[in-house]
Amino acid sequence: MEEEEEEAQALLAGGPDQARGGAPAAPGALSALCDPSRLAHRLLVLLLMCLLGFGSYFCYDNPAALQTQIQRDMKANTTKFMLLYAWYSWPNVVLCFLGGFLIDRVFGIRWGTIIFICFVCIGQVVFALGGIFNAFWLMELGRFVFGIGGESLAVAQNTYAVSWFKGKELNLVFGLQLSMARIGSTVNMNLMGWLYSQIESSLGSAGPTTLGVTLLIGGVTCILSLISALALAYLDQRAEKILHKEQGKTGEVIKLTDIKDFSLPLWLIFIICVCYYVVVFPFIGLGKVFFTEKFGFSSQAASAINSVVYVISAPMSPLFGLLVDKTGKNIIWVLCAVATALVSHMMLAFTMWNPWIAMCLLGLSYSLLACALWPMVAFLVPEHQLGTAYGFMQSIQNLGLAIISIIAGLILDTRGYLFLEVFFIGCVSLALLSVVLLYLVNHAQGGNLNYSTKQREEMKLSHTE
């Protein structure tokens, strides 16, 4: 035990000699930064956690930012283009169940994070090489490999957060991580088109090589995330020795047999999740060309408006999270979010109003739904089934995104944007119907999904008594 204490002191002091008093102590600020029990050190860890997901979210929407260039340079129609999103989602239909297991039982949080970010980096490089060698199948392979790492990396990021931050801090940390992810998406939307034009000027012509080089440079953000993963692994291992804390675990217990016990309200939540998210992500994937063709925006302006959902989500997600925490009434908030998305898509489909209005509404809706929908799962299933419930929810969400991405591309190639918008309106209408059904079923069963925060606290007190 004494040897462990001595080692901890040595690590804090910067070396064994300093620990024995052979050198002056570090300045106060530097000392706080090096001590894992101090706030300054944990803020440094939080910064690394946020940077961990930045590269993945930046590169996820590279196709959306370069839709015109990819379709032109690779001679791909919209159906083929949307396969780049479908291939990302396919591996995560299965990996949503396996990610937590691999972190807990196989790799551990540190090696798991490094391995997943390596998949992201390799996937982005292969994606870029597909452009350089004018091989679309190679681009598809790159997106598949990228997908293997992308969603599992988010699980690892959350596991680190739970390991380092507790209680009320945790909600804020999750909010900040989500905000940084959305900043990554926003920077991508507004940077990649400009970067392509700069490389086109340097090389003297557009084409697959220009596209590939642009994607390769965009992949530098993944290297930044890999460096963050390595730094986090070092600091986490160091903190384990100093504080004698355990390595972080997801705590997920995945049992597929639990699915048979899922209640009707939970299945309705799954339907809402799929029907809502398929009208957001595939639309953003195709949005840039939509805004240039229908509304006559320039390429740069179309990129800006296409990123507004993420721009709004960055500051509003933590605020809406606080609002839902304070008020409860989750079903009402989900109803507001889905209805707002429906209004947004109807405006985009049937009016020529400035699309900034509709996209701002969609951004607010997207931010609110995430804060109100996902926590409801925890009210419906016992703690030992949470891992299965969330894993299944993410799994069918990815299955829906993969299928709808392909269908959206087919509709656009054969029928055009108006029919695509009508299809999205149909999907979000199904989500709205499911919310109404959820409200009625919850009310009939005397459920607590729509309780106010005060009612939930009273219920907790009555159970403890």
pLDDT per position in the chain (465 positions), as tens? 545 455 455 555 544 444 444 444 445 555 767 777 777 888 888 899 889 989 999 999 999 999 999 999 999 999 999 999 999 999 998 887 777 777 777 888 889 899 999 999 999 999 999 999 999 999 999 999 999 998 888 878 877 887 787 655 666 777 788 888 889 999 999 999 999 999 999 998 889 999 999 999 999 999 999 999 999 999 988 888 877 666 555 555 666 677 777 889 999 999 999 999 999 999 999 999 999 999 999 988 999 999 999 999 888 888 888 888 888 888 999 999 999 999 999 999 999 999 999 999 999 999 999 888 988 888 888 867 776 788 788 889 999 999 999 999 999 999 999 999 999 999 999 999 999 999 999 989 887 787 777 776 777 666 665
Q: Which of 252, 287, 321 is the last residue of a domain?
A: 252
Return the DSSP state at 74.
T
Specify the pLDDT at position 26. 45
- The answer to whether 189 touches 303, Cβ cutoff 8 Å, is yes
* Cα Rg, the chain, nearest whole Å: 24
Phi first, then psi, for residue 397 (nearest 5°) are -65, -45
157: CB partners within 8 A, 6+ apart: 49, 52, 53, 113, 177
Q: Is 245 in the same domain as 271?
A: no
Return the DSSP state at 448.
S
Dist CA 267 CA 396 (whole Å): 11
The CATH number of residue 120's host domain is 1.20.1250.20
Query: pTM, whole model, 2 decimals?
Result: 0.84
Dist CA 341 CA 319 (whole Å): 19
Q: Is 166 in the same domain as 123?
A: yes
Dist CA 444 CA 461 (whole Å): 23
Q: Is 220 in the same domain as 308?
A: no
The DSSP-derived string for 313-370 is: HHHHHHHHHHHHHHHB-HHHHHHHHHHHHHHHHHHHHH--S-HHHHHHHHHHHHHHHH
Specify the pLDDT at position 28. 53
Query: Does 17 reside within a domain?
Result: no
Q: Is 244 in the same domain as 95?
A: yes
Q: Could you count the other beta carbons within 10 Å of the beta carbon of residue 167?
A: 6
Specify the pLDDT at position 95. 85
Helices (H), 204-261: 208-218, 220-243
Q: Supply the range of the domain harboring residue 235.
A: 27-252
Query: Does 54 reside within a domain?
Result: yes
Q: Which of 252, 280, 295 is the last residue of a domain?
A: 252
Q: Which of 252, 286, 319 is the last residue of a domain?
A: 252
